[in-house]
Amino acid sequence: MKVIFLDIDGVLNRIGVAGRTDQRYRGRIGIDPELAEKFNALVKRTGASVVLSSTFRLEVGWYFILKDSGIDTKPFIGATPRLPGCPRGEEVEKWLEDHDDVERYAIIDDESDMLAHQKLFKTQYGTGLTDEICDAVAAYLGAGKS
């Protein structure tokens, strides 16, 4: 199984640029429709399952927030565990330890708190998910260009 670990802020939204979303959920910035569409296309292109690693996962009803924001939630198979005081990379590692059927995975995040051996595709908070990052993730997971 191929898996994408997904952060939201700085990946599916962008701050400080034209076209960003003004929609908010309990203080969180909403999801940019253009970036949601880009992510949906990436998931379809790669055939990957998705695990939410964002702090959005701590929000009751996160699945419905994503769905209502235009994210195709069918490929979502869960969320990383909450390990207070640990970097996000440790939460990803714990999830992987509990799921031995993962053959390849990619992490899409605007933060760098991953473990040294983990494959991070780092976005920028101001731009979010780009075509270049989508192409790199797709190539890494074994899919071609769109």
| C-alpha distance from residue 70 to each of 38, 66, 94, 129 (Å) | 11, 7, 29, 15
What CATH number is given for 2-124+131-141 in this structure?
3.40.50.1000
pLDDT over 60 at 135, yes or no: yes
Q: Which of 21-25, 69-73, 76-80, 141-145 holds the top average pLDDT?
A: 76-80
- The pLDDT tens digits of the residues spanning 41-82 come to 999 999 999 999 998 888 888 888 889 889 999 999 999 999
Where is mean pLDDT largest: 16-30, 46-60, 108-122, 130-144? Answer: 108-122
Task: Kindly indicate the confidence band of residue 14, based on its pLDDT and cuts at 50, 70 and 90.
Answer: confident
Domain ranges, ordered by start, for the chain = 2-124+131-141
| Residue 107, pLDDT above cutoff 50 | yes
Which three-class secondary structure state does DSSP give residue 56? helix
Judge residue 92's burial from the number of C-beta atoms within 10 Å of its C-beta, 0-12 exposed, 13-18 middle, 19 or more buried: buried
* Band (124; pLDDT cuts 50, 70, 90): very high
